[in-house]
Amino acid sequence: MERTHQYRHQGRSRNPSSSHSSSSSSSSSSSSSSSLTESSRFTPPDRNSTKFSRFNPNTRSNNVSNNTAGTRDGSEWRPRRGSRSNSTTHHGNLKAGAQADEVRVKDEDSSILIGTCPFMCPESEMAQREQLRDLAVFERLHGNPRKTSPSLAVKKFCRTISTKHLQTSDVRPLPVLEDTLSYLLKVADSADHPFEVVHDFIFDRTRSIRQDMSMQNIVNDKAIYMYEKMVTFHVVSHYKLRCCGSNANISSVHYLNMEQLIKALTSLFELYDANRNTTSIFENEAEFRSFYVLLHLHSRSQPTGESLSLWFSRVPHWIIKSERMCFARSILRTFRMGNYKLFFCTIAAKASYLQYCIIEPYINEVRALSLSCLNNVGYKLHPYPLVHLSKLLMMKESDLQRFCNACGLETCTDEMGNKLLPTKQTTFCIPKEGFQRNDFPGLEQFEK
């Protein structure tokens, strides 16, 4: 069923039938061109929603093509004037690093690839994986590891593909990719299996979706919509994986998830730029751009190898001034300055769910820094009341007492029964095993 997107305009009204074209090059020896359709605009996410599927647009224009104008009617694909071809990108200036694991295609001809597979997984792959018992728990029909069905099996990611032997029946067209992604996100919301098991399945299958999109040079508004969903999955996983424990395996999965988050986010930014129109904006772009800033917390290094100052120079002015971006910049500034009170207050008042998912790993770190400062500068004869400190650090008093003990600080109780933190203790330290998770009062809906 065709969806329609909701537009927000700046200035004059937008003509939904207008389209741009853009040149796109494949890796190796050939290049193909793709037409860029006008991109739809998305409704900002609900701050209190915790579902992966909350970025579904309310409407989608029937005038938007699936892939390009030439996909269905055979019309010629023409590159956007002034655009440059780059052999390391699937569109315009897409970063080579961002695309490296999404698709490594060896092109032997320059024909435009349009997938024809009607299922979430090609029939040949389903048969092969049934024979090899290579079926994820979500793909097994009635729990049988040697039996699946088109409604359960999802195409796996393949690191290297040669187009010489690639059949169009092995590649899923855009409508099938959209349905596949919707199915995967329903699995993500399921609580029938541990999240690390769910993540492992969706992590691989969404990479396969991005791979099929790259092979067909799908760079229109629907690509933006799908990339936003996939970035959302990785951002939420960034938070949820921390709740699964701190063993070596989870740490490795967390690292790989962050790697794919950066790659998908970089590709999404390039899609925003490629489909931009001077009379309209992408309503979700400001929040997704803010993720890049928040990923710089506690690190002077650049997630994508680029400094923030250079990155900001290319960001549209309206995004720089947006509420979501102003929040991210304020968090980054207060974090690096050690202004813990403003750091916590800003999060409690303005953070969206996805922004909180990125910030959460640093909250206990800031709390520990705050304890260290109070311990060093406090007056030894006047212990600090935990009831006051809990308000400053946005913690429950019972959690704060355990947190102080984990940092090597002893607490005491006065004659009135009030719990206190004596200062000038020389035993402060950061626990080697890390911090236990603590609730953030005021954001309980995010902790679910």
Tell me what the mean pLDDT of segment 172-181 comes to.
Answer: 98
CA-based nearest residue to 208, from 248, 243, 177? 177
Higher pLDDT, 248 or 34: 248
pLDDT (0 to 100) of residue 22: 39
Point out which residues pair with 34 in neighbouring strands: 22
Task: Please report which confidence band the pLDDT of residue 436 belongs to, taking 50, 70 and 90 as the band edges.
Answer: confident
Q: Is the pLDDT of residue 67 over 50?
A: no
Mean pLDDT of the chain: 77
Rounded to whole angstroms, the Cα distance separating 162 from 107 reads 7
The tally of CA atoms less than 13 A away on the side-chain side of residue 389 is 27
pLDDT (0 to 100) of residue 382: 86
Rounded to whole angstroms, the Cα distance separating 322 from 434 reads 35
3 state SS of 233: helix
Tell me what the mean pLDDT of segment 272-283 comes to.
Answer: 83
pLDDT (0 to 100) of residue 58: 37
Alpha-helical segments (H) within 65-122: 69-73, 96-99
pLDDT (0 to 100) of residue 171: 95
Largest CA distance in the chain: 85
pLDDT (0 to 100) of residue 40: 39
pLDDT (0 to 100) of residue 141: 96
CA-based nearest residue to 352, from 54, 87, 60? 54
CB-based burial label for 190 (10 Å; 0-12, 13-18, 19+)? exposed
CA-based nearest residue to 443, from 135, 15, 48? 48
- For the ranges 56-60, 267-271, 378-382, the maximum mean pLDDT occurs at 267-271
CB atoms within 10 A of CB 15: 11
3 state SS of 144: strand
CB 204 within 8 A of CB 227: no
CB 160 within 8 A of CB 106: yes
pLDDT (0 to 100) of residue 190: 85
Tell me what the mean pLDDT of segment 256-260 comes to.
Answer: 94
Task: Please report which confidence band the pLDDT of residue 30 belongs to, taking 50, 70 and 90 as the band edges.
Answer: very low
- For residue 333, which amino acid is it? R
Residue 192 to residues 10, 102, 395, 447, Cα–Cα distance (Å): 45, 29, 31, 19
Q: Helix, strand, coil proportions of the chain in percent (round to 5)?
A: 45, 5, 50
CB 66 within 8 A of CB 33: no
State the Cα torsion 62-68-70-72 to the nearest 10°: -40
Task: Please report which confidence band the pLDDT of residue 163 belongs to, taking 50, 70 and 90 as the band edges.
Answer: low
CB 375 within 8 A of CB 424: yes
Q: What is the pLDDT of residues 85-139, one digit of tens each?
A: 333 333 333 344 444 444 444 444 446 789 999 999 999 999 999 999 999 999 9
Token output for 289: 């751009």
Going by DSSP bridges, is the β-strand pair 419-421/412-413 parallel, antiparallel, or unpaired? antiparallel
Rounded to whole angstroms, the Cα distance separating 129 from 324 reads 44
pLDDT (0 to 100) of residue 106: 45
- The phi-psi region of residue 331 (left if phi > 0; otherwise alpha if psi is between -120 and 50; otherwise beta) is alpha
Tell me what the mean pLDDT of segment 377-392 comes to.
Answer: 89
Rounded to whole angstroms, the Cα distance separating 246 from 223 reads 34
Q: Is the pLDDT of residue 68 over 60?
A: no
Q: What is the pLDDT of residues 402-411, one digit of tens each?
A: 999 999 999 9
Rounded to whole angstroms, the Cα distance separating 124 from 406 reads 55
Lowest-confidence range among 5-14, 114-123, 245-254, 309-318? 5-14
Rounded to whole angstroms, the Cα distance separating 6 from 57 reads 7
- What is this structure's pTM? 0.75
Instruction: Return the H-helix or E-strand segment holding 413.
Output: strand 412-413
pLDDT (0 to 100) of residue 263: 95
Rounded to whole angstroms, the Cα distance separating 118 from 169 reads 8
Sheet strand arrangement including 384-385:
384-385, 419-421, 412-413
Q: What is the pLDDT of residues 220-248, one digit of tens each?
A: 999 999 999 999 999 999 999 987 766 66
CA-based nearest residue to 66, from 172, 220, 268, 267? 220
pLDDT (0 to 100) of residue 146: 94
Rounded to whole angstroms, the Cα distance separating 242 from 361 reads 8
CB 357 within 8 A of CB 392: no
CB atoms within 10 A of CB 314: 10
Task: Please report which confidence band the pLDDT of residue 299 belongs to, taking 50, 70 and 90 as the band edges.
Answer: low
